[in-house]
Amino acid sequence: MEDAALPGWVLPVTLVLGAIVLAFIRVWFGIDEKKNRKYAGKRAVATKPIQKPLGRYTKEEVARHASESDLWLIIRSRTTGVAGVYDVTQYIEDHPGGDAIFTHAGGDATEGFHGPQHPATVHDLVREYLIGTLVEGGDAGEAKTFTAQAEWKVQGSLACA
């Protein structure tokens, strides 16, 4: 018995129908809406200054916070190069990537944070977890409260990494 070849239109039509079915499933089950609802209440207003005490931490201090009950990350701003320290302990359960958040626990998570897997909204989301800046060697010093608009510009670029 000889194999019959399919007409040339079958493959393109099948691909188009498959895309339509997938789009229908996403809309019907609200897959994108579920993700967006998860972050809806956590978006920050970019123009509002942070008015909480922000500390200055060394890499050694950050490294001591690398557990499920106490997780800090260092994320360096792409625009300013300033490294922020973030206490993301409260965010662990909400992290869509699951345990991937522990990849750089207590260390520099800059590369992973700026990866293609994160939506643009992650920059607004992470802002609420900013607890200070990284001191490159030396003493961390005293905590400082950033409230002035000039200082906010630094904080804004830090928080929006």
Quick: pLDDT tens for 16-62. 898 888 887 777 766 655 555 554 444 444 444 445 678 999 999 99
Residue count (the chain): 161
For the chain, how many helices (H) and strands (E)?
6, 6
Quick: pLDDT tens for 83-113. 999 999 998 888 888 888 899 899 999 888 8
Q: Which residue has the tokens 């207003």?
A: 45
pTM of the model: 0.58
Would you say residue 160 has pLDDT above 80?
A: no
